[in-house]
């Protein structure tokens, strides 16, 4: 659940957490998807040399072509790294996205390193507070 959103100009929108009213997928399906997303984010990290070691994270990266005048551009992309952690019992959801990150539009090179850094900072802050 989203606790708050901070816009690029610093405006903070705070949201009150709601309890889920009903389960929308089975526990088995949830575990299967989580395992697939753990494998996907680890494979992306290895492919792009992004250190995800020690992070119990599940996620994905994507590059999507931007539509321009009703046709998908061959040169302009949005890139995203999204995930949740700890994967075994999620407490945080993190989405990093960029529009038109020229010259390299690879989500693994642009968004994933930032995702990894922020996830590591969040988890290390929590670990330090426990000690």
How high is the pLDDT of residue 127?
Answer: 57
How high is the pLDDT of residue 105?
Answer: 81
CA dihedral 27, 28, 30, 34 (to 10 degrees): 140
Tell me the pLDDT of the chain (131 aa) as tens digits: 567 888 888 888 888 777 777 888 999 999 999 999 999 999 998 888 888 888 889 999 999 999 999 999 998 899 999 999 999 999 999 999 999 987 778 899 999 999 999 999 998 866 556 55
* Domain covering 4-130 in this structure, CATH number: 3.40.710.10
Is residue 33 within 8 Å of 59, Cβ to Cβ?
Answer: no
Say if pTM beats, i.e. exceeds, 0.85: no
């Amino acid at each position: 659940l989203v606790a708050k959103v901070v816009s690029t100009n610093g405006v903070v929108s705070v949201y009150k957490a709601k309890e889920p009213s009903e389960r929308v997928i089975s526990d088995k399906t949830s575990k299967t998807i989580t395992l697939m997303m753990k494998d996907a984010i680890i494979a992306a990290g290895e492919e792009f040399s992004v250190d995800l070691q020690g992070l119990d994270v599940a996620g994905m990266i994507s590059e999507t072509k931007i539509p321009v005048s009703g046709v998908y551009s061959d040169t302009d992309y949005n890139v995203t790294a999204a995930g949740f952690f700890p994967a075994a019992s999620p407490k945080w959801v993190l989405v990093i996205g960029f529009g038109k990150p020229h010259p390299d539009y690879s989500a693994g090179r642009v968004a994933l390193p930032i995702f990894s850094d922020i996830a590591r900072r969040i988890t290390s802050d929590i670990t330090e507070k426990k000690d």
